[in-house]
Structure 1
Amino acid sequence: MTGEPVADLVRARLPATLLLAVLAFACVLVVALPGGLLAAVWTRGGRRPRAELAFTATTSAMAGMPDFVLAAGLTAGLAVALRIFPVAGDLGPQSYVLPVLALALAPTAVLLRIVRVETLKVLATDYLRAARAKRLPAVPLYLRHVAPNTLTASLTLAGNLLPALIAGTVLVEKVFAWPGIGSAMAQSVAAQDYAVVEASVLVLGSAVLVVNFLVDLALALLDPRSVIRKT
C-alpha cells in the first residue's frame, strides 16, 4: 500500500515484536516455575485447603481472560487512572511493562497450574520418599531431586504456550500502538494490504517453529532420555 518493499517493513518492526515476546516468555518462566513449585510444596497432602482454593480460583480467572481484555484493563487502571505507565507507544523501558504483563499473565497462570501438578506427582514418588527418609536438607532436596524432574515436563508444556503468546502480540500491539509486526499486520488487514499480511504470518509462524526447536534442544540438554523417547 505504501509502495515500500515488504522486507523493509518486516526488518524495521520485527525487533520490537521479538523483544516483547521474549520478555513476556521470560516473565512466564521466572514466575511460573518457582511459583508452581512453591505452591505444590505449600499445599501438598491436602494441607492448607484455603490456600489451594485461592490459588486455583486466581489462576483459573487469569488463564481464562483474553489478552485484549487484560490489555484494556491494564491501560485503564495503570496508565489512564493512576498514570504510572505510558498509555501507548515505545517511549522507553516503562513502555514495556503493560504490554509484557498483558501477554504474560494468562500463560503464567496456565503454567503455574501445570508446574504445581507436575511437582505434586514428583513429591509422591518413591525415590523422593526415600530422600526424605534420609533426612536430606529441604533446599538440596527440592533443587536436586524435585526441580529437575518437574522442569522437563514443564518446559515441554511451556513450548506449547508459545504459539498463543506470539499470536497474542497482534492484538496486544494494536491496543498499545506498539511499533511491531503485530500492529502492522492488524493495520494491513483493515487496509486489505495482503502482501504485508502474508509476510507477517510467515514471519510469526517461522518464529514459532524456531522457538519450539530451541525448547526441544533445551530439553535434550536437560534430559537426554526425552530424545530417545521421541525417536
Structure 2
Amino acid sequence: MLRFIVRRVLQMIGVLFVLSILLFAWTRSLPGGPVDAICGERCNDEQRAALRAQLGLDKSVFQQYLTFLGNAFQGRFGTSTGVLPGTDAMDLFLRRLPATLELSVTAIFIAVLFGVPLGYLAARRRGGIFDNMSIIGSLVGVAVPVFFLAFVLKYFFAIDNQILPLQGRQGDINATRVTGFFVLDGILTREWDAAWNAIQHLILPSIALATIPFAVIFRITRAAVLDVLDEDYVRTAEAKGLTARTIRWRHVLRNALLPVTTTLGLQIGALLGGAVLTERVFVWGGIGESLASAIQLRDYAVIQVFILMAAAGYVVVNLLVDIGYAIIDPRVRTR
C-alpha cells in the first residue's frame, strides 16, 4: 500500500510540474503583459523599464521560470492589480476558497445523494418507466448549460416567486465569522438564523452546479449495477439463499461503487469549471468568480495562484480517490 501511495504522489508532483510550465508559458504569452496591467497608460518608458526589472522580466525565460517556481513553493505570487488591488494574491485565494468549497461540497453531496440511489433503482427496473424517465432526466442534466439553468432557477425561485434569495452567500445579518464557511460558522456560534440564511442562499447555486455531476454519477451507477447484476457471484449468492439486503449491500453496491468512486474524483475537480459560471450568476464571491474577473482584468498574480492552487487541489482529490479505490479493491495496488 505504501509503495502505491508513493507512486501516486510522484505522479502528482510530475503533473504539477508540467502544469507550472504550461501556466508560466500561457501567462507570458497573454497580450499586454504584467507591466501593462500594472501601469496602464500612466508610466513612461523609464518607469516601465524599472518595473520590468523589479518583476524580473528583463531576465532570460529560464531564469524567470526558476524564479516563478521558487516563489510558487513559498506561496508568493505577487499582489492583485485588478480583482482587489494591493492584496496579496495568495491571501486573496485563501479568503475566497471557503466560498467555493462550501458550494462545491454541497453540490457534490446533492449529486451523490440522488445520483447513486436513483442509478441503482433504475438498474433494478431496467427497461421500465422509471428507468426511461431517469435516463431522459440525466441527459437533460448534461445537455442544459450550467449558466442557463442557474438563470432559470434564479428567475423562477428568486425573482418571480421570491422563495429563495437572489444572490450572495448571506443576507444583511451581523454574523460571527470563524472559518469562512458561513453555514458552519452559524452552527459553531449557535447563530441559527445566520446558518439558516446561509443555507437558503446556498440552495439555488448548489442545485445548478450539481446537475452535471448528478447526471454523470447516475449513469455510471446504473451501468455499473447492471454489470454487477450479471456477475456469477451475484447469482451464486442468490442461489445460496442470502437475503436481498445482504446481496444488495455486500455484493452489488460495494462492487458497483468502484467506478463511481473514480468518477466522483473527476467530478469534484471538474466542479471548478462550473463554479466559474455559477458564481458569476449568483455573485457568490468564490475563486471561480474571482478567476473570471482576474482574466477579464488581466490580473496575472491572481490568475497564476488561482489556477495553480485549483489544479493542486484537483490532483490531491484524485490522489485521495486513488487511495480510497485501492482500499476498496486491493487489486488496484498491483497495477
> When the two structures are superposed, what TM-score results if normalisation uses the length of structure 2?
0.65
- Counterpart residue identity of residue 21, structure 1: S
Q: Which residue of 1 aligns with 2:153?
A: 74
The whole-number CA distance in structure 2 between the counterparts of 1:82 and 1:133 is 55
One-letter amino acid of the counterpart of residue 12, structure 1: R
Task: State whether residues 118 and 153 of structure 1, in contact with CA within 8 Å, keep that contact through their aligned partners in structure 2.
Answer: yes
1:5-47 CA-to-partner distances (Å, cap 9, x unmatched) read 112211211111112112212222222122211111122xx4x
Q: Distance in 1 between matches of 2:305 and 2:146?
A: 23
The question of whether the paired residues in 1 share the 8 Å contact of 2:294 and 2:300 is answered with: yes
- The equivalent of 2:303 in structure 1 is 197
Q: Report the alpha carbon displacement of residue 72 of structure 1 after superposing the two structures with TM.
A: 1.0
* 2:293 corresponding residue in structure 1: 187
Q: Match for 1:37 among 117, 120, 130?
A: 120
Please, which of 173, 183, 204 is the counterpart of residue 279 of structure 2?
173
Match of 1:5 among 56, 67, 88: 88
Superposed CA offset, 1:65-110 (max 9, x none): 2211121111111111221211110111211111111111111011
Match of residue 62 from structure 1: 141
Q: After TM superposition, give the deviation of residue 162 of structure 1 in Å.
A: 2.5
Count of matched residue pairs: 225
Higher helix share: 1
**Unmatched 5+ residue regions in structure 1?**
none
Bigger radius of gyration, 1 or 2?
Answer: 2
For residues 258 and 264 of structure 2, the distance between their equivalents in structure 1, rounded to whole angstroms, comes to 10
What is the CA deviation profile of residues 170-194 of structure 1, one whole-angstrom value per residue up to 9, with x for unaligned ones? 1111111001111111112221212
- What are the superposed Cα offsets for residues 147-188 of structure 1, whole Å, 9 maximum, x if unpaired? 110011211122222232122111111111001111111112
2:120 matched to 1:14? Answer: no
What code does the residue aligned with 1:51 have?
F
Q: Distance in 2 between matches of 1:220 and 1:94?
A: 38
RMSD over aligned Cα atoms: 1.4
**Deviation readout 1:95-138 (Å, 9 max, x if unpaired):** 11111111111110111011101100100111111111223221
The alignment status of 1:24 with 2:103, answered yes or no, reads no
Contact 2:272/2:288, CA 8 A, preserved across alignment: no
Partner of 2:15: none
Hey, what's the Cα distance between the residues in 1 that align with 2:143 and 2:332?
Answer: 31
Letter in 1 for 2:289: S
Distance 1:56 1:226 in 2: 30
Q: Verify: 1:151 aligned to 2:257, yes or no.
A: yes
- Cα distance in structure 2, aligned partners of 1:153 and 1:227: 15
Letter in 1 for 2:154: T
Cα distance in 2 for partners of 1:169, 1:117 equals 27
The 8 Å contact of residues 177 and 183 in structure 1, kept in 2 or not, is answered as: yes
Work out whether residues 157 and 163 of structure 2, in 8 Å CA contact, stay in contact via their aligned partners in 1. Answer: yes
- Find the counterpart in structure 2 of residue 119 from structure 1: 225
Deviates more, 1:119-128 or 1:161-170: 161-170
Is contact 1:166–1:208 with CA below 8 Å preserved after alignment? no
Letter in 2 for 1:63: V
How many Å separate the matches in 2 of 1:58 and 1:29? 16
> 1: CA distance between counterparts of 2:157 and 2:332?
43
Any conservation in 2 of the 1:71–1:175 contact (CA below 8 Å)? yes
The letter of the residue matching 2:131 is E
Aligned residue for 1:97?
Answer: 203
Matched letter for residue 274 of structure 2: G
- In 2, distance between residues paired with 1:102 and 1:210? 25
Q: Work out whether residues 89 and 177 of structure 1, in 8 Å CA contact, stay in contact via their aligned partners in 2.
A: yes
Query: Which amino acid in structure 1 is aligned with residue 152 of structure 2?
Result: G
Unaligned runs of 5+ in 2: 1-80, 171-197
